[in-house]
Amino acid sequence: MKKIISMLVVLLAVFVIPFQASAHVSVSPNESTVKSWETYTMKVPSEKEMASKKIVLKIAKGVSFESYEPVPGWTTTVDKKNGTVTWQTEGNGIEKGQFQRFSFIAKNPSEEGDVAWNAYQYYEDGSIVEWVGAEDSETPHATTKILKESAQTTTGSHGEVVAGAEDTAGDTSNSNDNTILLWTAVVISVLALITGILAILSRKK
């Protein structure tokens, strides 16, 4: 019986941990180049029973916020003095099991390093989830690694460096590969659990 329970715990870990990680506030791309004008997309899920109707993003030092893509039903407020961008709605908001994307253009720092995207998510009950922790914390902030310019970067209409001009299809391919690997691991784990249970039952007979 203990062996069966242990196997169930392992199976739950395989199922739950990846989906918990994917439920965090994320910002893509997770890599870009110095001085480039990058289009970033922040994905905000709802992890509670009530809706989330406000999200505040802190613009990291060295990053210059340029513009944002309007989101129907949401009001966007840019506070360059305090370095924040706020998205807020009077509508239904982001309800349980949903997520919302917010896209914006920003100029990357002139030096290599990690850009931390600290975000604050407000719920209807007045609670706030602060996505400002380290990668291994319960509420980690999203991070973009700023790298040196590559031969695949290009320049925009004003001579600025624009990242991601090489092949955005590659990002989709990588995402699909990761999804396939995740579900392959889940299937293998389920089969291993079933095999283990059958072996234990056979020995009891």
Segment 16-24 shows an average pLDDT of 50
Task: Name the residue type at position 155.
Answer: T
Token pair in block for residue 62: 């060295």
Residue 199 in any domain: the answer is: no
Alpha carbon of residue 77 to chain centroid: 22
Residue 103 in any domain: the answer is: yes
Segment 131-154 shows an average pLDDT of 85
Q: What is the pLDDT of residue 194?
A: 73
Each residue of 21-52: pLDDT tens digit?
A: 446 899 999 999 999 999 999 999 998 999 99
Q: Which of the four pLDDT bands, split at 50, 70 and 90, describes residue 183?
A: low
Alpha carbon of residue 72 to chain centroid: 21
Residue 194 in any domain: the answer is: no
Q: Does residue 159 surpass a pLDDT of 90?
A: no
Q: What is the pLDDT of residue 40?
A: 98
Nearest Cα neighbor of 93 from 50, 126, 58 is 50
Q: Which domain holds residue 102?
A: 24-166
Residue 197 in any domain: the answer is: no
Residue 185 in any domain: the answer is: no
For the chain, give the mean pLDDT.
79
What whole-number distance in Å separates Cα of residue 170 and Cα of residue 73?
A: 32
Residue 201 in any domain: the answer is: no
Residue 200 in any domain: the answer is: no
Q: Say which CATH number the domain at 103 has.
A: 2.60.40.2230
Q: What is the pLDDT of residue 149?
A: 77
Segment 113-132 shows an average pLDDT of 96
Q: Which of the four pLDDT bands, split at 50, 70 and 90, describes residue 165?
A: very low
How many domains does the chain contain in total?
Answer: 1
What whole-number distance in Å separates Cα of residue 154 and Cα of residue 163?
A: 7
Residue 5 in any domain: the answer is: no
Q: What is the pTM of this model?
A: 0.66
| 3-state SS class at 185 | helix
